[in-house]
Structure 1
Amino acid sequence: MTEASHLTAVRESYDTVAVAYAAQVPAPAQLDPLSRALLAAFAETVRAADLGPVADLGCGPGKVTAHLAGLGVPAFGLDLSPGMVGLARTAHPGLRFAVGSMTALPLADRSLGGILAYYSTHHTPTDRLPGVFAEFHRVLAPGGHLMLAGHVGEEGVRQPRQAYGGHTVTYTSHLLPPPRVLALLRGAGFALDTQVVDEPAAGATRTHATLLAHRPPKAPEGFSGSAG
């Protein structure tokens, strides 16, 4: 089967910018207090549930994966870019990282206690998101938790030509308003726990949102989402 063009663009682009990305993107300890608190809350939630390992999907160079591990979470990373995975393995040799796609996770049904998708789903075209969220639902154990964070806003597409370090990129970023993201998660069978929308500070141009959700222990009546 031919790989979707957006996946090829994401893989090639992040392989190109991997070293510059790892140098420029701050570690979680350098993030703002709210972002750190949300990651800590997610870590505490999945530790308490104790339903299995946590996958950091779109892990990049592994900084957030390592942060979760430092908070006592049995975390591992998965990324579409072999370049990013190579950097993550070098920087964090005690953790597990693998190459893989959110569109077809190389994971068994109900095998995870948690999923972190941290600024990693915005390159997915809107019409492909239901399939990605269905994969999240499939691999989470009933009662498992999801933390989804990213850029939000009026529905639209951005196609930058250059990114980290001035390197040429071919990926596309897709924005959706938070209610639309939430509707897609609910359509995949998730229940919302918390939603935090962080409006841009003075001089900033993008709004950020974090959604904490879970796969209910029992599927809602009439729901026929994932096969997991």
Structure 2
Amino acid sequence: MGRVYTGNRADGYQSIAPIYDLSTSWALAPLRREMRRLILSAGYGAAGRVLDLACGTGVLMAMLRRRGVRALGVDLSSAMLGKARRNGLTGSLARADATMLPVRDASVDCVCLVLALHENTREDQDAMLGEALRALRPGGKLILADWLTPRGVVAQAAHWLMHPVERAAGREHYRGFREFLRAGGLEGILARHGLVLECLDRRFLGALGLAVARQA
């Protein structure tokens, strides 16, 4: 996969990595199953190459590999990648900053990004998405899951349920979450990069979006 991250940024997931899968599976399992379905229905089987950006403990990668998909994983957290390796994933994993990906231009067919944009500054959000687009081959797909700007009372209520969770993740994380929403959420960043939204599945009472997008 080329160069790997050699910086010294703190690993914010050091303490949560051992319990991450147990504590998040109730929410992430349905998203991952739908992402796998979307990837397979797009024809990215054995002939395709999927990049799981901010792959965490590698659960989505494992699901894809069991179906014959060549999945590559990148994450900044050495603790999360260590858990991925203990989960049985070997090879095609790299510790890397998502704003400086260790992949060649136009080298993957699909990039997945699950709940990672909102926890960063707007500058880093744009850099992450820019790098994902650089890595995509012409006609490739982005499959993204992240928070939407809430529409209606029910979505607003669902959002407020998440505020304590996002706040507990740390001051910088929570600041990124709030700035992400103020800038239009998932739909806002896709529009900012001029991407074509092929479909948007509203989940968690309309507070969370699962989107398939491509370059115009």
Given the two structures, how large is their TM-score scaled by the length of structure 2?
0.75
Quote the Cα distance in structure 2 between the aligned partners of 1:145 and 1:212.
7
Measure how far apart 1:161 and its partner are: 6.0
Measure how far apart 1:25 and its partner are: 2.5
Quote the Cα distance in structure 2 between the aligned partners of 1:59 and 1:48.
19
Out of 32, 39, 46, the residue aligned to residue 36 of structure 2 is: 39
Contact 1:190 1:213 in 2 (8 A): yes
Quote the Cα distance in structure 1 between the aligned partners of 2:90 and 2:112.
19
Spell out, residue by residue over 1:171-214, the C-alpha distance to the aligned partner (whole angstroms, 9 max, x if none). 414142795533432443432111111243xxxxx811011012
Out of 66, 76, 81, the residue aligned to residue 72 of structure 2 is: 76
Q: Where does residue 135 of structure 2 map in the other structure?
A: 139
Find the residue that maps to 1:13 and give its secondary structure.
coil
Equivalences, count: 196
Quote the Cα distance in structure 1 between the aligned partners of 2:182 and 2:43.
27
Find the residue that maps to 1:193 and give its secondary structure.
strand
Matches within 5 A, 1:1-228: 8=9, 11-26=10-25, 31-32=29-30, 36-47=33-44, 50=47, 52-153=48-149, 162=168, 169=170, 171-173=172-174, 174=177, 175-176=180-181, 180-200=185-205, 207-216=207-216
Measure how far apart 1:37 and its partner are: 3.1
Taking a change above 3 Å as real, the CA distance of residues 148 and 14 of structure 1, as seen in their structure-2 partners, is: same
Quote the Cα distance in structure 2 between the aligned partners of 1:183 and 1:27.
27
> Partner amino acid for 1:31?
A
**Greater alpha carbon shift after TM alignment, 15-24 vs 141-150:** 15-24
Taking a change above 3 Å as real, the CA distance of residues 62 and 137 of structure 1, as seen in their structure-2 partners, is: same
Unaligned runs of 5+ in 2: 1-7, 151-158
Unaligned runs of 5+ in 1: 1-6, 164-168, 201-205, 217-228
Q: Where does residue 166 of structure 1 map in the other structure?
A: none
Q: Aligned-residue CA RMSD in angstroms? A: 3.4
Find the residue that maps to 1:24 and give its secondary structure.
helix
Quote the Cα distance in structure 1 between the aligned partners of 2:167 and 2:192.
33
Give aligned-pair identity as a percent.
25
Quote the Cα distance in structure 2 between the aligned partners of 1:14 and 1:171.
13
Taking a change above 3 Å as real, the CA distance of residues 98 and 45 of structure 1, as seen in their structure-2 partners, is: same
Given the two structures, how large is their TM-score scaled by the length of structure 1?
0.72
